[in-house]
Amino acid sequence: MGKLKKIGVLTSGGDAPGMNAAVRAVVRTAIYYDIEIVGVFQGFDGLISAKFIDLDSRSVSNIINRGGTILKTARSEKFKTKEGRKIAHKNLLDQGIEALVVIGGDGSFTGARIFEQEFNFPCIGIPGTIDNDIYGTDFTIGFDTAVNTVIEAVDKIRDTASSHDRFFFIEVMGRDSGYIALHSGIACGAEKIMIPELEGEFESLVETLKEGTKRKKTSNIVIVAEGDQEGGAYEIAKKTRIEFPEFDVKVTVLGHTQRGGSPTCSDRVMATRMGVKAVECLMLNRSNVMVGIVNNHIVTCSLLDAIKQHPSLNPELLNVALIAST
Ligand code: ADP
């Protein structure tokens, strides 16, 4: 391929704070290197319905601080079909777009990888998901903001929990991954953290609570990842009420608050670094990879590895959580 003339950018799958910062960086980098840049609305759906918009430097003014994504995001069933992807490919060629930056999670990377293989169309991924569950990067865009949202809420709940001697189960996002629960639980001094990766946690919770009672603890905060193996915060609360009828047990589900809000400094800087790197990779004919950050260095990893491999929870963090809560 000669000099890259025109690229596209889209956000796909679940939104995450900091996606806008990544879009902005992609746009500004393209312009810096004299490459035309086109935004695609609503993820892969926008490729199929040809929702394109020419972007310039001003199009991305004042968005670095905004949560959500100005390009909107979507889950596209049509893109999962060969027919849908054929239309997407034709629309991209009609626009003169030569490569695509896909900001999203592993589902979006699966779509991007299939698309690149089918049509030999260069795609590069930027990890945007609050779950931090993507292999090949220490952090994903949105995770830091989400955990900060959680700790702000939990700190408030702790005030009322201790005033009323109450026991709170706080459910956070993480269907398959305990990253948000583990990090926010450590940061909030939770008495117990329950995550999908660990089995037999209810028995361990009962032990923790008994120990706490011996030490005359009157309030407790337990952080529960939504996908934990005991069935979520409401289910665990039900079982706890049976085991400890003397406790005043409450449940708070933080839900979608974790997906919104102004991105933290860390998410903005990381998203910007990833956006710059993604365009620079495409200029060097490097595609079919995801940009990541490892030990504070910007790196790339194949889309296949990013999709197929799973990051394992850091055992040191699990140990820290255990020791600090005793
Ligand atoms: P995330 O990117 O946050 O993991 P999803 O799993 O919903 O979110 O994936 C986002 C989109 O990626 C899907 O709606 C679909 O358009 C596309 N995608 C996911 N899996 C495939 C696949 N096997 N083939 C083609 N496209 C896919």
DSSP class of residue 256 equals G
What is the rounded CA–CA span in Å between residue 74 and residue 54?
20
Which residues have C-beta within 8 Å of that of residue 140, sequence separation ≥ 6? 16, 105, 127, 128, 129, 130, 131, 132, 133, 134
The helix (run of H) or strand (run of E) holding residue 45 is: helix 43-48
The pLDDT value recorded for residue 238 is 97
pLDDT band for 1, please (50, 70, 90 cuts). low
Is 56 marked active-site? no
Closest-CA residue, ligand 1 atom 7, reads 13
pLDDT digits (tens, 9 = 90+) for 272-320: 999 999 999 999 999 999 999 999 999 999 999 999 999 988 999 999 9
Ligand 1 centre distance from Cα of residue 173 (Å):
19
Q: How many CA atoms lie within 13 A of 214 on its CB side?
A: 7
pLDDT band for 215, please (50, 70, 90 cuts). confident
Q: Which of 45, 106, 131, 144 is catalytic?
A: 131
What is the rounded CA–CA span in Å between residue 54 and residue 52?
7
Kindly state if the Cβ of 78 falls inside 6 Å of ligand 1: no
Closest-CA residue, ligand 1 atom 16, reads 76
Rg value, the chain, Cα? 22
On whether the CB atoms of residues 39 and 97 are closer than 8 A, the answer is: no
pLDDT digits (tens, 9 = 90+) for 226-261: 999 999 999 999 999 999 999 999 999 999 999 999
Both tokens assigned to 191: 């008495």
Amino acid of residue 252:
T
Residue carrying structure tokens 């393209």 = 30
Which residues have C-beta within 8 Å of that of residue 153, sequence separation ≥ 6? 170, 252, 254, 257
pLDDT at 326 over 90: no
Q: Identify the weakest region by mean pLDDT among 77-91, 124-138, 157-171, 271-285.
A: 157-171
The pLDDT value recorded for residue 184 is 97
The pLDDT value recorded for residue 212 is 87
Structural domain boundaries of the chain?
6-142+263-308, 145-260
Which residues have C-beta within 8 Å of that of residue 211, sequence separation ≥ 6? 326
Average pLDDT on 5-25 reads 98
Closest-CA residue, ligand 1 atom 18, reads 111
Q: Identify the weakest region by mean pLDDT among 46-60, 201-215, 265-279.
A: 201-215
What is the rounded CA–CA span in Å between residue 11 and residue 43?
5
**Domains 6-142+263-308 and 145-260 agree in fold:** yes
Average pLDDT on 162-186 reads 95
pLDDT at 221 over 90: yes
On whether the CB atoms of residues 146 and 17 are closer than 8 A, the answer is: yes
> Which has the closest alpha carbon to 276: 6, 21, 71?
21
Ligand 1 atom at shortest distance from the alpha carbon of 74: 14
Give this prediction's pTM: 0.97
Ligand 1 centre distance from Cα of residue 175 (Å):
16
The pLDDT value recorded for residue 318 is 92
> Which has the closest alpha carbon to 50: 60, 59, 38?
38
Dihedral sign (CA 133, 170, 184, 266)? positive
Kindly state if the Cβ of 11 falls inside 6 Å of ligand 1: no
What is the rounded CA–CA span in Å between residue 75 and residue 109?
13
pLDDT at 2 over 80: no
What is the rounded CA–CA span in Å between residue 63 and residue 120?
32
The pLDDT value recorded for residue 177 is 93
On whether the CB atoms of residues 71 and 108 are closer than 8 A, the answer is: no
pLDDT digits (tens, 9 = 90+) for 179-188: 999 999 999 9
Kindly state if the Cβ of 110 falls inside 6 Å of ligand 1: yes
Percent above pLDDT 70 for the chain: 100
What is the rounded CA–CA span in Å between residue 148 and residue 323?
22
The pLDDT value recorded for residue 217 is 82
What is the rounded CA–CA span in Å between residue 167 and residue 160?
10
- CATH number of 145-260, picked from 3.90.950.10, 3.30.1360.120, 1.10.10.920, 3.40.50.460: 3.40.50.460
The CATH class of the 6-142+263-308 domain is alpha beta
Ligand 1 centre distance from Cα of residue 105 (Å):
8
Kindly state if the Cβ of 104 falls inside 6 Å of ligand 1: yes
pLDDT band for 214, please (50, 70, 90 cuts). confident
Q: Identify the weakest region by mean pLDDT among 45-59, 80-94, 162-176.
A: 162-176
pLDDT at 95 over 80: yes
Better-predicted residue by pLDDT, 165 or 131: 131
